[in-house]
Amino acid sequence: MNDFAFDAPTVIRTKRDGGRLSDAAIDWIVDAYTHGRVADEQMAALLMAIFWRGMDRGETTRWTTAMVASGERMDFGDLPLPTVDKHSTGGVGDKTTLALLPVVAACGAAVPKASGRGLGHTGGTLDKLESIAGFTVELSTRRVREQLADVGAAIFAAGELAAADKKLYALRDITATVESPPLIASSVMSKKLAEGVGALVLDVKVGAGALVESQAQARELAHLMVGLGAAHQMPTRALLTDMNAPLGAAVGNALEVAEALEVLAGGGPRDVVELTVRLAGEMLELAGIDDREPAEALRDGTAMDRFRRIVAAQGGDLSVPLPIGAHTETVTAARGGTMGDIDAMAVGMAAWRLGAGRSRPGEKVQPGAGVTIHRRPGEPVAAGEPLFTLYTDTPHRLAAAIAELDGGFSVGDASPVARPLIIDRIAT
């Protein structure tokens, strides 16, 4: 590509001033950044310009295509099983992937799942799984293919898939440019298109703990991603789901694995089970499988068996106890009454402060850090009763985490207004 035709300051200035980036400019800047010819500080400036000025559908489609072209592409068209994947835009306590993949695999589809690290206050599937002793997410394409044929699912780091996204993802995380619809859509869809999956179901979170807070913005994002899938001949549909309160009662890497295991054992929080079963149903429908019930796979133990096989195939050992932070603090109720709304962002930020997330690229997370929620909205509370337990390996983090929770919950005399977990469904 001809570097003399473009320069980073001009591309940045064009978007900063509200202009439209040409296809050629997008191709150049994505390629140049991927290969180190554009510096992080320059791309950070462009990301902030995109955050404020946005990109139209044409720009977003081209940006996505350029990101797909930046790395390798997988192709599972010759597998005997239909392939389907799910992606969440990120939330607090969202561990559905951990239970969902073995459910769908147990029902007869293959799920190649390229996943990411934690982004901002939202947890990452790879970080969660790496809290299992020995579990590896670094799989070659050949290994992924073999595992899909053997156990029906593989969860792996994107590696060189959409290579531009790996760098952009980390940069967005530390430059406060995460919550941009074009950047979210292109990040998600570039990885899924490069993954070579046959169909895709999106879980678009909306609310205080989501990357987008308003339903209008969430619908815009969902339509944008469904449209990107259609433009690239990949059947895609989306569910809009509530993320005002944390999903489930566990927030943090190992804590969420433990809760996912409860779901796979036939128990677990009602909201996690509901969302897992609904997403699995959507995935199986797109895959053309209509003779298995996802809820039955949870009840009869086949999903748990499949999860154990996935973990074993990726070197994990579930017989080793999951890590838990060595230092704890408990937040108790100042009065009796009924648990009110719990702010997902407050809990997510508390977990981040405790060490469950990152403040700079490549930073190690604490697998045992996080928050356990003892009383969910609408449940009765007694004065002095534990409401939250915080875990960390670094005790100096506790005060800041408790400060994040302050004002993020209430105990009152009346139950909060119930909200539906699944708000809408968007399909092509």
- This prediction has a pTM of 0.89
- The CA–CA distances, whole Å, from 372 to 254, 259, 328, 381 equal 11, 10, 11, 16
- Give dist(CA 118, CA 88) in Å, integer: 12
Residue 36, class by beta-carbon neighbours within 10 Å (0-12 exposed, 13-18 middle, 19+ buried)?
A: exposed
Catalytic site residue from 131, 186, 187, 190 = 187
165 part of the active site: yes
Supply the pLDDT for residue 124. 85
Nearest Cα neighbor of 139 from 125, 162, 156 is 156
- Condensed to tens digits (0 to 9), the pLDDT of residues 392-415 reads 999 999 999 999 999 999 999 999
> Domains in the chain and their CATH numbers?
3-54 (1.20.970.10), 85-319 (3.40.1030.10), 327-412 (3.90.1170.30)
Read off the pLDDT of residues 318-329 as tens digits, 9 standing for 90 and up: 999 999 999 999
pLDDT at 119 over 70: no
pLDDT in tens, 152-194: 999 998 777 889 998 998 899 889 998 888 998 999 899 899 9
39: amino acid identity, one letter:
A
Which amino acid type is present at position 248? G
> Looking at 191, 192, 375, 397, which residue is catalytic?
191
Q: pLDDT tens across 285-330, in order?
A: 999 999 889 999 999 999 999 999 999 999 999 999 999 999 999 9
Write out pLDDT tens, residues 227-268: 999 989 999 999 999 999 999 999 999 999 999 999 999 999
In 10 A of CB 124, how many CB atoms? 21
What is the per-residue pLDDT for 157?
A: 87
Q: How crowded is the C-beta side of 196, counted as CA atoms within 13 Å?
A: 16
CB 90 within 8 A of CB 218: no
Predicted confidence (pLDDT) per residue in 204-230, tens digit = 999 998 888 899 989 999 999 999 999
Is 180 in the active site?
no
- Percentage, residues of the chain above pLDDT 90: 82
Structure tokens at 306: 């499949």
In this model, does residue 2 exceed pLDDT 60?
Answer: no
Give Cβ neighbours of residue 299 (< 8 Å, ≥ 6 apart): 266
Greatest alpha-carbon span in the chain: 69
- State the pLDDT at residue 1: 53
288 with 104: CB under 8 angstroms?
Answer: no
Active site residue 187: yes
The lowest-confidence range among 98-102, 124-128, 131-135, 332-336 is 124-128
Pair 322, 397: CB distance under 8 Å? no
pLDDT of 120 higher than 80: no
Residue 27: Cβ within 10 Å count:
19
Residue 191 bears catalytic tag: yes
Work out the end-to-end distance of the chain between its first and last CA atoms, rounded to an integer number of angstroms. Answer: 35
Q: How confident is the model over 80-97, as a mean pLDDT?
A: 93
Q: Is 87 a catalytic residue?
A: yes
Residue of 172, 237, 353, 358 marked active site: 172
- Encode burial over 66-100: b for 16+ CB neighbours within 10 A, e otherwise: bbbbbbeebebeeeebbbbbbbbbbbbbbbbbbbb
Q: Which of 62, 86, 87, 117 is catalytic?
A: 87
Cross-strand pairs, 240: 204, 424
* Choice among 27, 165, 173, 242 that is catalytic: 165
List the alpha helices (DSSP H) in 80-174: 96-106, 125-129, 141-151, 163-174
* Host H or E run for residue 16: helix 8-16
**Beta bridge mates, 205:** 241
